[in-house]
Amino acid sequence: MSKTCQYENCERGCYGEFCLWHKKRKAINKQGKEAERWTKFRDETVIPYLDKQFGHTCRCCRKGGKLDVDHIHGKGSHPQLKYQISNFQYLCRMCHIEKTANKECEHGNL
């Protein structure tokens, strides 16, 4: 190590401009291939389908805004329906939390 780190007040040795603590690192893609496949399917297929068929509203409380794409029948108990287009619905965050917790939606529309 023949150089000194160029970062302000750092005196560590380095091979390039910066030491290991201050060297800029490349972003690591944290999604695996299956997660990338799901994201692409959701964004390019499911969301346009739900918008066209049902509009951009929560199936339970009928509110719009930011909505989650929900599997009607869970992926764990029904893995064969994971990519079945008819197995999706929009839910707002609160209705989605209630459904996931196996609670009855307070609006009674599920």
% residues pLDDT > 70 (the chain): 90
Alpha carbon of residue 77 to chain centroid: 21
Q: Is 33 helix (H, G, I), strand (E, B) or coil?
A: helix
Q: Is 92 helix (H, G, I), strand (E, B) or coil?
A: coil
% residues pLDDT > 90 (the chain): 48
When pLDDT is cut at 50, 70 and 90, the band that residue 108 belongs to is low
30, 29, 4, 27: which is closest to 15 by C-alpha?
4
